[in-house]
Structure 1
Amino acid sequence: MNARSWWLMLSVGLGILLNPLNSSMVSVAIPRLQNVFQLDFTVVSWIIFSFYIASAIAQPVMGKASDLFGRKKIFLTGLLVAFVASLLAPLSPNFEWLIVFRIVQSIGTSMMVGVGMAIVRIQITEKQATALSVLSIFLSGAAAIGPFIGGVLIHWWDWHAIFFVNIPFVAASFLLAWRTIPKDEPPTSVASNMSFRKWMNRIDAPGILLFTVGLIALLVGLLSAKSSGHISLRYVIVGLIGLMLLLAFVRHELKTTSPFIPLRTFAKYPAMTWVNIEFMLVNVLFYSLFFGLPSYLQTVRHVSEFHTGILMLSLGLCSLVASPLAGRWIEKSGPRPALLLSAMLMTLGSVWIVTLNQTSPVISVCLALAAFGISNGLNSVGMQAALFKSSPKEIIGVVSGIFNTSRNLGAILSSLLIGIVMGGKFSFEGFRWLGMILTVFALSLLFMSWRRRESGQMEES
């Protein structure tokens, strides 16, 4: 690759890292935000929910929007949106406004993720695999070191810094992208003459509305289940309305010609469906630890944000080291052995969480972090390999979109699980219950991985 290609990758990489960086930095900030705004843990959890819900919707929509308006325009607009959100979020007068700016930030960063990979695929024709692997380092690396960066920033400059830190990345990416990303080609006659109504149908606006409102209503209803057992009738009704809207969403997606989430694809390719179910479960496990452990360290063990960030770094480093090793292993042996080992490590980590007590050495937490970190590195490669193996090549673009949706839904479900288990206050007892639930999930994942191995051996014989 020539120098221009490397500068192009750098400009795109600095933009797309903002989404995983901001989704991971907040894991260390939750206890501080809870104290600053004087809120229950379930309410503070919306700082996580809002980001992942917005990302789940914005990423596929912006991918379609780039075909109509141009990839460079969408990428630069995303940088401007992220800049405004990062500048205004620390000035929020209350938590409600912080959630609004968090959603805006998620939309802006999702605009870059949605088109960044496409820009590199189109503009870099030589050594494309190398280029995409470099971008994956930006994505996985940002997610891995996010808690460490967040812990350091909050320790020295308070929670506002996790938003201000985005500004230099945005500025550098914007200047480089303005110079290195080629101008968008003129829109085709079909795209330029497309009416607003046709555009809404193309992105499936009714499906997005049903999905968003239904999911939020269901989350509000379920999160009303406090640890004390008190459930408000009002929130039960809200939850039931959310469930009915999600059922209406399923019915709509099965009928529409351009679905937001192509549910008919799941029915047509059951092997691909099971991979996505496993991937969702993997992310429920991973993000439950990712978001739960920092709160446990700070709230229960009274560990500072700085030291929490350092401990969480072991999770990211193990994941980064395991990913390239997993790639070589999977190329030789296929995804089954790696996914089976990953499920074993997640089971070990979940059991270890249950054994922790309030006097356990804090350094012992690193064992659970290392187990989940290595398993995440194995899963990031193994699940994608299993997905491509079980999916037809002609729909690989659609399959990749579904795969990312499964990741976001897993993160949302993990936050929901933590909120229900903990209720209004994060406690040691709740953390132990969380470990028990994760152990059950990990054993289920281990069973799925073992069945995958057995079925694979039967097919080979």
Structure 2
Amino acid sequence: MPADGDHDAAARERSALFVATLTSFMGPFMISSVNVALPSIQAELGMSAVQLSWIPTAYLLAMAMVLVPAGRVADIHGRKRIFTAGLVVYTIASTLAALVPTTAWLIALRVGQGIGAAMFVTTGMAIVTSVFPPQRRGRAIGIYVAAVYIGLSVGPFAGGLLVQHVGWRSLFALMLPLGAVSVGVTLRFLKGEWAEARGEPLDIVGSLLYAGAIFALVYGGTALPSAAGGLLALGGLVGLLLFARRQARIAHPVFDVSLFRTNRVFAFSSLAALINYAATFAITFMLSLFLQYIKGLPPQTAGLVLVAQPAVMALFSPLAGRWADRIQPRWIASAGMLLTTLGLVGLLFLHPDVAIGRIVVNLALLGLGFALFSSPNMSAIMGSVAKHQYGIASGAVATMRLLGQMISMAVAAVVLAITIGQAAIAPANYPQLLGSLQILLAIFAGMCIFGIYFSMARGEIGK
């Protein structure tokens, strides 16, 4: 008969996985569904194009600025405490966003959503890693990652239905029951606390320096290829170097930069993650333009074609995580990066008359590659650090993902600016649009080759 301790441990694992999975679904669902709602929001609130762009940007910026400091605060004061507080902040901000009367209030509450999301994203993975033993951790991480892709897959379709039949405010209101359930399960069933750095001080100066540098880097990236955007991005890089220098010199850093210097598995796995996101995130954006402009598909049909990639990701991520429990993650992740490269190369030869089935097959290949890469790579990162560094490592993973996404979009913006310029997309410049897609695919495939190197060269982790 199982001991009471075994029952408690199993219940804690189920609770941790449930709340972490639900919250990992909520963020991507909100991001992808709000993108569908932007025209409706603009029409009701009378927003300018610049103001409209701040609806997604404010969320991403706030999240990026808070991720790493929130991980450190969680290691000091307790991961469950920060996780729960983040859920409360996110749920309140989302609920109020459903009631906003003005543009300024909506943007401000998107900042609140980003702060709350940063708090539960950076701690959710750390809690899962703390609760699950190494021999079952990969499977749990695979389920966690699958929820991200399910959110990305369901968001545009479900968001479109809600916006069309109920209105855009329903997207924000939906977060109230989801957030309330997550908070309730966390407080009722997730027993224990994890704060291996309890009592250590928080480097407030370093936290502010990091937040300022990330703001300049991310916001500058969104403004590329303008000169101001380039200067801001450069300033952000300088700020990050100053942050790293400070962290290397103090006793209790916000982020232990020595991990990149002394922990080969952590450093190379993080670089591989950055490259993978940078080489894939803008593909959906560019293919959406290709399908709707050059292929002439309506938005709903184009969306269904693009769902092939996240759907395959969601299907295979748990399986990849389970494999990572038995096989060294670098082999599975590197195979995934190789499949991603092949999928990019397969799309490189797109032309106006290409069959939709061929696009779907290559998108499915990209999805399989990303699924095989992401879960094992994340498992390798979390398994390579000590328990008191779980929050820091989890924040680093999320930061790499966000920076990779911004790099990907910045590269796409620069290529489009060079090939098409400031002109609106029209039949006259469809050849240039297709050319920009092919240039991007070639760049991204080349980046993946470097990603394969870092993935393989990381070494092995102890089980």
Whether contact under 8 Å (2:269, 2:454) holds in the other structure is no
Cα–Cα, structure 1 residues 290 and 96, in superposed 2: closer, same or farther, change >3 Å?
farther
- Alpha carbons 1:155, 1:305 under 8 Å: kept: no
TM-score by length of 1: 0.76
- Code of the residue aligned with 2:208 in structure 1: it is L
Aligned to 1:258: 252
Aligned to 1:168: 177
Which position in structure 2 is the counterpart of 1:195?
Answer: none
Once the two structures are superposed, the pairs formed by residues 43-442 of structure 1 within 5 Å of their partners are: 47-66=55-74, 69-92=77-100, 97-117=105-125, 133-134=139-140, 136-158=142-164, 159-182=168-191, 191=199, 202-226=201-225, 231=226, 237-270=231-264, 272-294=266-288, 296-297=290-291, 303-304=297-298, 306-327=300-321, 334-384=328-378, 387=381, 391=384, 397=390, 398-422=392-416, 427=425, 429-430=432-433, 432-442=435-445
Using the TM superposition, give the Cα deviation of residue 20 of structure 1 relative to its aligned residue in structure 2, in angstroms: 3.5
Deviation at 1:366, TM superposition (A): 1.5
- Contact persistence 1:220–1:238 (CA under 8 A): yes
Write the distance in 2 (CA, Å) between the matches of 1:167 and 1:140: 22
Structure 1 match to 2:29: 21
Residue type of the partner of 1:281?
I
Post-superposition Cα deviations, 1:255-277, rounded to whole Å, max 9, x if no partner, equal: 33333333233223345423322
- The C-alpha deviation readout for 1:417-460, integer Å capped at 9, x for no partner, is 23333456785544642442342332342255268769989xxx
In the TM superposition, what is the alpha-carbon distance from 1:373 to its structure 2 partner? 0.5
Deviation of 1:379 (Å): 0.5
- The secondary structure found in structure 2 opposite 1:261 is coil
Q: Secondary structure at the match of 1:356?
A: coil
Q: Secondary structure at the match of 1:355?
A: coil
Partner of 2:449: 446
Q: Distance in 2 between matches of 1:37 and 1:112?
A: 30
Q: 1:289 to 1:268 in 2, by over 3 A?
A: same
| Mapped contact 2:121–2:398 kept (Cα < 8 A) | no
Deviation at 1:82, TM superposition (A): 1.5
Q: 1:137 to 1:76 in 2, by over 3 A?
A: same
Return the alpha-carbon distance in structure 1 between the equivalents of residues 203 and 221 of structure 2.
27
CA, structure 1 residues 395+81, in 2 after alignment: closer, same or farther (shift >3 Å)?
closer
Q: Indicate conservation of the 8 Å contact 1:20/1:140, yes or no.
A: no
Tell me the SS of whatever aligns to 1:65: helix
Indicate if the aligned counterparts of 1:319 and 1:373 stay in contact, CA closer than 8 A: yes
- TM-superposed deviation, 1:206: 2.3
Alpha-carbon displacement from aligned partner over 1:300-358 (angstroms, at most 9, x marks no partner): 65655544443333212211333344346556663454344323322233234333344
Q: More deviation in 376-385 or 85-94?
A: 85-94
What is the percent sequence identity of the aligned residues?
A: 25
Could you tell me how far 1:377 is from its partner in structure 2? 0.8
Aligned partners of 1:155 and 1:304 also within 8 Å: no
1:39 aligns with 2:42: no
Aligned to 2:3: none
Sort the Cα spacing of 1:57 and 1:304 in 2 relative to 1 into closer, same or farther, 3 A: same
Quick one: distance in 2 between partners of 1:338 and 1:32? 43
- Give the 3 Å change call, closer, same or farther, for CA 33–274 of structure 1 in structure 2: farther
Shift of 1:280: 0.5
User: 1:38, 1:306 → 2: CA distance?
Assistant: 25
8 Å CA contact retained: 2:67, 2:399: no
Q: Secondary structure at the match of 2:180?
A: helix
TM-score, normalization by structure 2: 0.75
Q: CA deviation at 1:154?
A: 1.9
User: Could you tell me whether the CA contact under 8 Å between 2:282 and 2:409 is conserved in 1?
Assistant: yes
- Relative to 1, partners in 2 of residues 1:372 and 1:134: Cα closer, same or farther, differing over 3 Å? same
Decide whether the 8 Å contact of 2:278 with 2:404 is kept in 1: yes
Question: Aligned AA for 1:62?
Answer: A
Match of 1:17, SS? helix
Alpha-carbon distance between aligned partners in 2 of 1:340 and 1:350, rounded to the nearest angstrom: 15
Q: Kindly state the Cα deviation for residue 376 of structure 1 after the two structures are TM-superposed.
A: 0.9
Name the SS of the counterpart of 2:442 in structure 1: helix
Matched-pair contact (CA < 8 Å) for 1:295–1:426: no
Distance 1:217 1:278 in 2: 23
1:108 alignment partner, SS class: helix
The one-letter code matched in structure 2 to 1:312 is: L
Residue pair 1:78, 1:109 contacting (<8 A) in 2 also: yes
Q: Secondary structure at the match of 2:49?
A: coil
Distance in 1 between residues matched to 2:111 and 2:209, nearest whole Å: 18
- Given that 2:93 and 2:109 are in contact with CA atoms closer than 8 Å, whether structure 1 keeps it comes out as yes
Cα distance in 1 for residues equivalent to 2:53 and 2:127? 34
Deviations 1:210-247 (A, max 9, x none): 23323333444454445xxxx45x55554554444344
2: distance between equivalents of 1:363 and 1:337?
30
Unaligned runs of 5+ in 2: 1-6
Bigger Cα displacement from structure 2, 338-347 vs 46-55: 46-55
